[in-house]
Structure 1
Amino acid sequence: MLKKWIYYTSITLIVAFISSGFKAAKNQNPSWFSTAENEPSSVQFPSKDLSDYPFSNLIYTGKSFTGFKEAIAFKESQGQYKLINSFGYMGKYQFGASALRSVGIKDNAAFLRNPQLQEKAFSALIAKNKWELKDEIAAYEGKIVAGIRMTESGMLAAAHLLGAGSVKKFLKYDGKRKIVDGYGTSLKSYLRKYADYDTSHIIAEDNPVVFR
């Protein structure tokens, strides 16, 4: 009888010891995570506040005009204001000298040193391309050409890459002409990649001039 008692007691103690190893730990949230309804979280994304991205150069801009600019800038130069490529295109948005002259900028060195001037130049050239493509935008926006839905922002981005004349040629030949830049980047890729951004507030201008 004593042996049976010792046997069952031992089994009970072993089971209790093993079970204690599976008990949930005390429910505590680490300091970097909070589920309290009224407590503001220190990590809330996406955000338009740059201070919320201390370890990133990414900016949440959606389909706004700022988003349009930054998306093109990243593709062109990864956002580097002082970059000059092997073809001589300059700055954050990779402008050619002739494009800069068309909006009144004649000093290339000063242009490269001045981020604000580069931002103004981008908006001015978009306004100029919008003027040059106003008929095409009116006629083709929303239509499918070469499998691509035409949008105002897509056409303006393509004009930034290869000029308004290249966009007109693309549309004239129903997208059947292959049009690429010196690095092989196609006009089609810009039409597609930069579609549906909001460029509506940019007013078309025949001869915009940038002032410092």
Structure 2
Amino acid sequence: MVKNKVKNFVLPFSICFVIAMALYPDSKLNPENYSTKGLDLDYNIKEDLAINSRMNNFENEHSVFSLYLGKSFEGFKEALAFKESRGDYFTINTLGYLGKYQFGSETLKTIGIYSPNSFLYNPELQEKAFVANAERNKWILRNDIKRFEGKYISGFKVTESGILAAAHLAGPGSVKKFLRSYGGQNFSDAYGSSVKHYMKKFSGYDTSIVKPNKSAKARI
């Protein structure tokens, strides 16, 4: 690419120089002053460096979005959504749970959504619902998060993101029972997913952006 750019510059310059010499044969133009002799113009950037450069430019121009979500809150949402529905906004499972994050109609009511059909066909509302539900669950579980975060239960370290993921699966009440029984009461849903499994699988994400909110509602 660099080589082509150099060629595109040198060729027009050479043409202009020849025209100038033809029009002004008696001028004091000295070809030596415009020589490219000794300049290293014929080179290529290594492909890996070129790719890195393009990726850096892409990330600088699109700083809000990154291809690598890692342990961010966006990474948490997408990982949980993939587990729930493979990220499909428009799916309904055999038990009637809806959308990308598989919400039940009763849970939707607690965050101000009373039309499941409208919810299913509104991805923006689904994203708002996920955040509102997480905020509400974090408020309900705020004392349990403070008490148990960082401790080991059933062989794994309890984290806030694991607690919120398990609450999304089974509700905050089931999470309280699991934590306060030190793993003795481990709720599982109809498909075999348990509080313990979610708490372990989704541990270590940064969910600090979620603010505890007793009255959280999903609005657009």
C-alpha contact 1:48 1:61 (8 A) present in aligned 2: no
Give the one of 115, 118, 121 matched to 2:129.
121
Aligned residue pairs, count: 173
Alignment partner of 1:94 out of 86, 91, 102: 102
What residue identity is the alignment partner of 2:173? G
CA distance in 1, matches of 2:92, 2:152: 35
* Residue identity matched to 1:137: I
Counterpart of 1:67 in structure 2 is: 75
Measure the CA separation in 1 of the matches of 2:159 and 2:52. Answer: 38
Calculate percent identity across the aligned residue pairs. 48
> Could you tell me whether the CA contact under 8 Å between 1:153 and 1:197 is conserved in 2?
yes
Displacement of 1:146? 1.4
Note the residue ranges of structure 2 that are not aligned, 5 or more in a row.
1-43
**What is the CA RMSD across the aligned residues, in angstroms?**
2.5
- Which of the residues 127, 131, 143 maps onto 2:139? 131
* Aligned AA (2:104): G
CA contact (8 A) 1:83 1:91 kept: yes
Higher helix proportion (structure 1 or 2): 2
List per-residue Cα deviations over 1:102-134 (Å, max 9, x = no partner).
Answer: 000001111011100000000000000000100
Check the 8 A contact 1:131/1:205 in 2, yes or no: yes
Query: Does 2:47 align with 1:34?
Result: yes
After superposition, the Cα gap between the structure-2 partners of 1:48 and 1:121, relative to the gap in structure 1 and judged at 3 Å, is: farther
TM-score under structure 1 length normalisation: 0.75
Structure 2 Cα separation of the partners of residues 115 and 94 of structure 1: 12
Name the TM-score, length of structure 2 as normaliser: 0.72
Matches within 5 A, 1:124-163: 124-163=132-171
For 1:182, the equivalent position in structure 2 comes to: 190
